[in-house]
Structure 1
Amino acid sequence: MLHVSVDNCGITVDNKSKKISLDPNKQPNSDFIFVSHAHSDHLYRCVKENGNKIITSKITHKIAMHRGYKYGDMYQEHDFRLLDSGHILGSNGLLIEDELYYTGDISIRKRAFMNPAIIPNARILIIESTFGDPDYIFPKFETTIHKANLIISEMYHQGIPVILLGYTLGKAQILTNVFRHWKPLIIHDSIDEMNKLYSEFGISMDNYVTFSEAENNNILSSHQPWLLIAPLASCKNGFLNYIKKKYGALSIGFSGWAVKPYYKYALGLDYCFPLSDHCDYDDLITVVKKCNPEKIYTFHGFAESFADSLRLLGFDANPLVYTKGNRNKTYLKLVTFFNKSNS
């Protein structure tokens, strides 16, 4: 019997003999901790040094260690199978006992060097629903890159530098790869750190200078156009405004949230294209159909509305949502048991 529950630490799966916490956000009381990938929201610092056995990929472990997390040795268990989730380098979903598949953050689209997720058949599916709303349908990757290249080309023709913005880990490495033909290519120092880690695992990230090097060598003020790739967080920490005011650069952001027109205005961007390392709504439906589960749990983002959509399609689906009751008491909004013997 597999028991799926959600509490203030996150999602837990247990079968009486062992308990597995899936991407916990606090120190869990479990035998195993599964870390799906190395984004900071999945690397909770309370589990830096503890007795839990860590299940993750070598790449995720390497990046986590670089970011200051001391998880110790990785643990391998024959009942657990890691499957590429296509989100960022080293990201994985988890197949437990060939019965339950947890997607973690997932993408089924080929994007530069990133391959689509591997989707198994499973009787239980726990699926992320970050973009689990019909409003979020993304254009083809190639279409988005082509549109961005047209803008960059026009700006270069006018002698105007361009700054591209995406998440430091994952998105920025894709941007480095697909826009590497523009010269001079300048990479923010924080992104350069991640690029070097990608290079260690065979993803070529070279032929650029860092932002620090560009400043020291007066490349930015050379009166020639250049392309800078910077973290999306630059929109809020003042770096983007500094670059735009000092060098007159045009800004282009990349995010799945750019489906909504207001997103670029909220971040102060000139352009923003829908480009995500997650599945869009249609992709999530594709994952569900390919997995063909008997029971589905949705989590994160549009968990409740996506579960509603799946039920309308004939699936048995419920959201995994943790809520607080009155007087600061907590309760599980959903605790469900699934008996493996019920074929």
Structure 2
Amino acid sequence: MAPGVQLRDGVEIEFASGERIVCDGVAAGTSTTEVTTVVSHAHGDHLVDTASEIVASELTAALASVRQSECDPETITHPAVDLIPAGHIAGSRAVLLTDPETDRRYLYTGDCRLSDRLYLDGFDPVDADVLILETTYGDPTYRFPAPEKTQHRIREWLAQTMDDVVILFGYALGRAQKLQVLLESTARSRVFITDAIAELNTVIESHRNITFHSQRYTNDVTLQPGDAVVLPMQTARLGWIESLVEATDAITAGFSGWAIDDSFIYQRGVDEGFVLSDHCDYDELIELVTTVDPERVYTQHGFTETFATRLTRKYGYQTQALKSNQSTLGDF
């Protein structure tokens, strides 16, 4: 088979020599010892629970050990692989792969964001011949306000609701930490988090120059006006959360790029929605592509077909939307 890019369990890049490197997955039909496994960041849909060795940042490996109790991967290096801060969450990395025989450069972004946000620097794209790009928000509908504007709006809302208990929902890894940082810049003196978020905080604090001052929420805590609770997004509709909201008359808010849709608050069952995202919006995706200026762009996740089509029609790039188990260009 000719060298190239395939989407299977993860994104598989094959060099001219036949060597394979798999990003955020395991090569089909093989054990992880037969390929090099790269993990871009520690969100569950990108982790590889069967790999004992991974190319990843030290922070990503440490977070993986917490998120997957039976997995304690060792970080290794590879001469053809360079890791570049991706601006998605703490420890996240884009992956630059250079074929040693052809010098062809493949840039796999993983999840990424160009904008600086709070304690995270944005992704600084590099030149590559082939770009493999996540397109979660690859539709023109998804154009986000500048991060500073969103942060200001959140702080204003937190000030306006000082007489209330507020419950904030965001991903346990990434959004939850940013919400804690935002809360620390307000007059709220008590911020509570779950055990899961606290464990992730501890790992991040041990690798980054940042300290979170939140307290663990327990059944013994009596919430008072002005208190804030940060919870994982997926807990929003759990029975005990609904009971907590009812007992404290709390105001709830969700934080996501999807909050740009009017339906977000109804779908997530929250009172307020804020466009706080760790992914590139449509305009940042266009900027990323034009900065890298590759010969070919592969799109994955989200609006793959939409974004690939617009890149070709408007900008003239050769594009392919990745689909699982493609083996030749004719399968695209």
CA displacement at 1:299 relative to structure 2: 0.6
5 Å-filtered alignment, 1:66-215, equals 66-67=66-67, 68-97=69-98, 99-156=105-162, 159-181=163-185, 182-212=188-218, 215=219
d(CA) in 2 for partners of 1:237, 1:334: 45
- How many residues align? The count is 317
Corresponding position of 2:44: 40
CA displacement at 1:108 relative to structure 2: 0.6
Mark the CA change 1:28 to 1:289 in structure 2 (over 3 Å): closer, same or farther: farther
Corresponding position of 1:276: 277
Corresponding position of 1:227: 228
Give the conservation status (yes or no) of the 8 Å contact 2:40–2:46: yes
Question: Under a length normalisation based on structure 1, what TM-score does the superposition of the two structures give?
Answer: 0.87
Corresponding position of 2:239: 238
* Greater RCO, CA 8 A, separation 6+: 1
d(CA) in 1 for partners of 2:286, 2:26: 27
C-alpha root-mean-square deviation of aligned residues, in Å? Answer: 2.0
For the residue of structure 2 that corresponds to 1:332, the secondary structure is coil
d(CA) in 1 for partners of 2:303, 2:290: 18
Give the conservation status (yes or no) of the 8 Å contact 1:258–1:273: yes
1:104-156 deviation per Cα after TM superposition (whole angstroms, max 9, x unaligned): 01111111001001211001100000110111111111211222222221221
For the residue of structure 2 that corresponds to 1:38, the secondary structure is coil
Give the conservation status (yes or no) of the 8 Å contact 2:65–2:71: yes
- Match for 2:255: what amino acid? F
1:332 to 316, 321, 326: 326
- Do residues 59 (structure 1) and 59 (structure 2) align? yes
Unaligned ranges ≥5, structure 2 = 99-103
Give the conservation status (yes or no) of the 8 Å contact 2:113–2:278: yes
CA displacement at 1:206 relative to structure 2: 3.1
d(CA) in 2 for partners of 1:334, 1:242: 53
For the residue of structure 1 that corresponds to 2:120, the secondary structure is coil
1:186-229 deviation per Cα after TM superposition (whole angstroms, max 9, x unaligned): 222221111111111124233322112xx42x441xx4321111
d(CA) in 2 for partners of 1:163, 1:179: 12
Higher mean alpha-carbon deviation, 127-136 vs 21-30, is at 21-30
Unaligned ranges ≥5, structure 1 = 323-330, 337-343
Mark the CA change 1:4 to 1:26 in structure 2 (over 3 Å): closer, same or farther: closer
Give the conservation status (yes or no) of the 8 Å contact 2:21–2:38: yes
- Match for 1:110: what amino acid? D
d(CA) in 1 for partners of 2:7, 2:19: 16
Corresponding position of 1:340: none
- Match for 1:280: what amino acid? D
Mark the CA change 1:186 to 1:137 in structure 2 (over 3 Å): closer, same or farther: same
